[in-house]
Structure 1
Amino acid sequence: MASRGKPAKKEKPIEEFEVLDVKDVGKEAESLLRYAKKYISEGSHSKQLAVGGVAGWITGYIAMKIGKTIATAVGGSLILLQIANHKGYINVNWSKMNKDLDSATKKLAHAGSDPSIPQMLDKVQHFVVENGYFSCGFSGGFLIGLAS
């Protein structure tokens, strides 16, 4: 009587993956933003208005979709927590919560004094003032994106 051996397992082919170097991604993104800024600034008024409108519409549409999802998740979780608290499933230690909120408020106030934030806001304000047509197009497109 012949003995049955286990069938040989099929060897899976080894997949080769490309290793991506992400060290220069920040530099590439900065270069891309610099190019986009130059492209927008040197363009005609109609080009600035059109590019701003399209960019604003896309941004507004994405913000609306993400905003609805976040609002639904946060609102639903707050309702569930209130129901669980009311039914006695959870008890909230309000004094500890207030102490933690005060601590978080102090940390945020300290983080808000970062000197790089005003510099960044100055750059944004300068861009908005220098490219008024783009800014107006972006604002209008953003509102249209929120409405669609």
Structure 2
Amino acid sequence: MELPNLAPYLGQITFGGLAGYAVGYALKKVGRALAVVLGLLFIALQLLAQAGYVEVDWTRIQKDVEPLLQQSGLQSLWHRLVATLTYNLPFGASFVGGLLLGLRAG
């Protein structure tokens, strides 16, 4: 294929890669912020439990959260995320590549 034949696709590939990188970078930053918030929430909950204000059923929480953390659950979550982010995008392949680079860089 000649370069003039690729010209219409280069813009889509470039935009897809850049958009994917931006989304991946943002997801990683949001993920870190979410981890901080969840950590602070856990500390607050433990302080309230120790003071006798609340009682936490950790066994029930473990039963509810464990299936989400298994490999099949994480893979399913990843596939749903990618499917949602690339829905109706003609440049989906370059978007996913940029997304992975953005997640790595963030």
TM-score range for the pair, normalised by the shorter chain length: 0.5 to 0.7
Looking at structure 2, the residues matched to 93 and 75 of structure 1 have their Cα atoms a distance apart, in angstroms, of: 16
Aligned-residue offset at 1:90:
1.6
Residue matched to 1:56: 20
Give the Cα–Cα distance (whole angstroms) in 2 for the partners of residues 93 and 46 of structure 1: 55
Counterpart of 1:138 in structure 2 is 95
Structure with more relative contact order (C-alpha pairs < 8 Å, separation 6 or more): 2
Amino acid at match of 2:97: G
Q: 1:67 is matched by which residue type in structure 2? A: G
Give the aligned residue type for 2:104. Answer: A
Shift of residue 48, structure 1, vs aligned partner: 1.4
Structure 2: 5+ residue runs without aligned partners?
Answer: 1-6, 58-83
Please say which structure displays the higher CA radius of gyration: 1
How far apart, CA to CA, are the structure 1 residues paired with 2:56 and 2:24?
Answer: 39
- Structure 1 portions without partners, runs of 5+: 1-42, 95-120
Specify the alignment match of 1:15 in structure 2. none
**Taking structure 1 as the reference length, what is the TM-score of the superposition?**
0.42
SS where residue 92 of structure 1 aligns?
Answer: coil
- How many aligned residue pairs are there? 74
Name the structure 2 match of 1:92: 55
Deviations 1:45-74 (A, max 9, x none): 222111100001111111111111111111
Counterpart of 2:35 (choices 71, 75, 82) is: 71
Relative to the length of structure 2, the TM-score reads 0.56
